[in-house]
Chain A
């Protein structure tokens, strides 16, 4: 394993220019692509996430680190064979039908992306049928639903039902969130997981897929 100290520091600081240069340097010096990704970028982002959870840094700093990582990824992506692109998992996410709140959902998407998941974002006001259609198309590991209104929460069980009808419920893990949503509600509607904020959404997603760290 190579030494990614300078790269890690640049990602932590959100210094895009230096981070991209360091990534290029690592590639030029013959480092393994997977190694750069796992031990240079993702490990650093895990650390950044940790610091955020402890209240040591603020959201914009964390997001900037995530973006820095994405810029570095652009150099790595073409070097992966289609088959061994190592994503932590595919996540399909959307705000449920009738609901137009999306700031929380967008934040969850960005954090998950930063943690190495591949995100397909369906936007807001997503009907159950749309979720079904997209699950069939994208074949995600996790389906995330967001609702900020008590009036739109019932769309969540309806979507789960629709997935059941289409016989694809068991192919995905379902995560839900949004201000009025609770752990109890998640259990009631038989979702697989609930998270109260974007940080814990990442932790819970990893748990669901049995990913450590």
Chain B
């Protein structure tokens, strides 16, 4: 008899059909051709004009659709991010999803007191270290905009601090062409030279133009720098529906994609074939509080739509968000919003997914929330893997054995269970399934408390393979310079 060999269907969420995708894409192109955009970087303006754009009123540009299509076809379909030891840990392509933290939180929930307080450099270190120790968190962002370093040095300092505390890939922020050059210098140092860095890039820059349709000089400066140096970059504008963009999601997506395409065109003109991670941030401006929400279903929905557009049209890996919340503390709302976005991002096959462990719409970070998210990602991954159907998993022999095994016989005692339970079941570590009495005996702790203990344990025990003395010394020199 031929053994059963059926591929496992992996659940996949689709929210747009091909026709919808094509219409949104066409609308984005129409925005660029008809409305145009404001390009405040003179070098980019010149490049665009030379390439065939019409420029009026000094810096207002109208871009013909073919330029966007050309850029789409020259940008690489896959981006491989490496860890700092040269392992390809984040192949951004197809349906691969990778989760990581967010940038610049103003506050953090203090691990000792539970109180919200201003972030300091030490927090960036702790978050990087925790990311390093959590198996489902693939990359690190700062999670802190520290108050204890000189403001002009914030992004370089934070970057160096993260380098000291993790070997995972990093997504970083810079203010302008000046600090990005210093950050790049540190990255090359870690990689062992510029050529080595370019072969195995481990950082990705996060820069943002301004909706609607405005491209400030310092932002484009970073874009061009990355294109020239082949540093992977994402370029999402804050097309929050109702604020920076139309309140209706189709229009907000069209606008955000149009802005992304401008970035992509400039990027490919400055460095043909350099890696560009596609996608805007389409969240909503909340109509009561006027905050830009980090826990709303709209953001999840639009990035799922973007993943569909990737599959139908763009082919470029996508930038996404998940695991964040608008809640002020890590409560049930935080858990619900985090899980909703984590599982839908994975089901829709978003690629690089950031902002995990943000509270208070990105104002506050939480180590406990990150620890919880690590487990929620595992749960989602289990679900998304689907149900393997084969001889072994159908377990007909085990059924026969147990059914015919006489009274008291049950699957728990069968070898089949022993051999398969670790793959067949999701085995939570932090989500509590204990009986009431044992839960009470163990301290009657809620998830926040358990995550707090686990985060502290990891921070105390996890060893981050250190950088060489020489590299650390050189980083210090760059920081002083």
Contact = CB atoms under 8 A, between A and B. Distances in A.
A166 B344 CA distance: 56
Contacts of B210: 100
B433 interface: no
Interface in A72-101: 100
A150 B216 contact: no
Nearest to B106: A180
Nearest to A150: B145
B288 A104 contact: no
Contacts of A107: 290
B133 interface: no
Given A151-B145, A180-B106, A55 B288 contact: yes
Interface residues of B, number: 22
Contact of A150 (B147, B240, B243, B292): B147
Contact of B287 (A58, A149, A150, A180): A58
Contacts of B216: 100
Interface in A103-151: 103-104, 107, 149-151
Contacts of A180: 106, 145, 363
Interface in B270-291: 285, 287-290
Contacts of B243: 103
A198 B243 CA distance: 14
A58 B106 CA distance: 27
B199 to A, nearest CB: 33
Given A100-B216, A150-B151, A151-B154, A197 B289 contact: yes
A175 B242 CA distance: 26
Contacts of A154: 151
SS class of chain A's interface: helix, strand, loop or mixed?
Answer: loop
A69 B285 CA distance: 24
Most buried by B among A58, A107, A150, A198: A150
B151 A59 contact: no
A179 B154 CA distance: 18
B244 interface: yes
Contacts of B288: 55, 58-59
B185 interface: no
Contact of B106 (A60, A103, A150, A197): A150
A59 B154 contact: no
Most buried by B among A149, A151, A197, A198: A151
A174 B201 CA distance: 47
B29 to A, nearest CB: 26
A198 B290 contact: yes
A204 to B, nearest CB: 16
Contacts of A58: 287-288
Nearest to A199: B290
A103 B285 contact: yes
B360 to A, nearest CB: 9
A21 to B, nearest CB: 28
B175 interface: yes
Nearest to B289: A197
A82 B106 CA distance: 46
A149 to B, nearest CB: 8
Contacts of B104: 149-150
Contacts of A179: 106, 363
Nearest to A181: B106
Given A150-B151, A151-B175, A180-B145, 18 more contacts: A58-B288, A59-B290, A60-B247, A60-B287, A100-B216, A103-B285, A149-B145, A150-B104, A150-B147, A150-B154, A151-B145, A151-B151, A151-B152, A151-B154, A154-B151, A179-B106, A197-B290, A198-B290
Interface of A: 55, 58-60, 100, 103-104, 107, 149-151, 154, 179-180, 197-198
Give the top 7 A-B pairs by smallest Cβ distance, nearest first: A58-B287, A180-B106, A151-B151, A103-B243, A150-B145, A59-B287, A151-B154
30 contacts: A58-B287, A58-B288, A59-B288, A59-B290, A60-B242, A60-B247, A60-B287, A100-B210, A100-B216, A103-B240, A103-B243, A103-B292, A104-B290, A107-B290, A149-B104, A149-B145, A150-B104, A150-B145, A150-B154, A151-B145, A151-B151, A151-B152, A151-B154, A154-B151, A179-B106, A179-B363, A180-B106, A180-B145, A197-B289, A198-B290
